Amino acid sequence: MTGAPSTYAGVADVVAVLVLLTEFAMLRAPLLRSQVRLYAFQSFVVTVLAVVVAATHHIPELYVLAAFSLALKVILVPGLVLRLLRDADTDLAGSSALGVASMILIAIAVSAFGFFTVGSLQVHSNALPTSALAIAAAVVLVAFVLIILRSDVVSQAIGFFSLENGVSVASLVVASGLPLVVDVAFLFDLLVAVVVFGVIMRVHHGRGKTLSTEELDRLRG
């Protein structure tokens, strides 16, 4: 259970922070296309982290996971969403319930909450520094902020996808021995979300509507 070398821990922390910063960038990205590209970048960072953990701790299964994650999250899912957006040619600027500054402030408060509560749990991992787990919790919470405050279908989807990235980081930190089937199953969930997303885009496109969730209010009560 001896810790990894401190440079390694430092690098891992930097990577985790990078994931969190990308999440913030998504929150403020005005264009939906750039949001998708940020997501692809974030997934790439998570993939790199998986490869690093696999190499330094000799867990060969993680290479398989990294390969899946590269194929699905970096290439396939962003590619599909970008294509759907191109076909939809509705207004591509996202909308939000609050101004950018207030959104970022809320996200900072929420991520600080996640960071300190989970950080105080005294979790010890031999794969990655535990601060990375706290950062992963912050990523998950900011993803929720993104889903709640941005009111368009694309942001919601991307918020969910990036939440999955946060969970991936957490699983790399504390549960790198977790059966691989779990992580792969979650990746397939992303694909189904994309399929339903595609259906909804098509149905709405047929009626010349926007991507705003304001349209999705027929069912209530």
Nearer to other proteins, 92 or 164 (CB): 164
Q: Is 116 in the site for other proteins (CB under 8 A)?
A: no
From the list 3, 12, 4, 20, the residue with the least C-alpha distance to 165 is 20
Q: Which of 19, 50, 128, 140 binds other proteins (CB under 8 A)?
A: 140
Q: Is 123 in the site for other proteins (CB under 8 A)?
A: yes
Nearer to other proteins, 3 or 177 (CB): 177
Nearer to other proteins, 11 or 193 (CB): 193
Q: Is 55 in the site for other proteins (CB under 8 A)?
A: no
3-state secondary structure the chain: CCCCCHHHHHHHHHHHHHHHHHHHHHHHCCEHHHHHHHHHHHHHHHHHHHHHHHHHHCCCHHHHHHHHHHHHHHHHHHHHHHHHHHHHCCCCECCECCCHHHHHHHHHHHHHHHHHHHHCCCCCCCCCCCHHHHHHHHHHHHHHHHHHHECEHHHHHHHHHHHHHHHHHHHHHHCCCCCHHHHHHHHHHHHHHHHHHHHHHHHHHHCCCCCEHHHCCCCCC
Q: Is 97 in the site for other proteins (CB under 8 A)?
A: no
- Binding marks (x or -) toward other proteins, 3..42, rule CB under 8 A? ----------------------------------------
Between CA 150 and CA 154 the distance in angstroms is: 9
Between CA 64 and CA 54 the distance in angstroms is: 10
Contact region with other proteins (CB under 8 A), list: 45-53, 65-73, 97-105, 187-195: 187-195
Q: Is 122 in the site for other proteins (CB under 8 A)?
A: yes
User: Tokens 């998950």 belong to which residue?
Assistant: 140
Contact region with other proteins (CB under 8 A), list: 14-22, 67-75, 103-111, 151-159: 151-159
Nearer to other proteins, 80 or 193 (CB): 193
Nearer to other proteins, 45 or 172 (CB): 172
Question: What does the binding site for other proteins look like in residue numbers (CB under 8 A)?
Answer: 118, 121-123, 125-127, 140, 144, 147, 153, 156-157, 160, 163-164, 167, 170-171, 174-179, 181-182, 185-186, 188-189, 192-193, 195-197, 199-200, 203, 207, 216, 218-219, 221
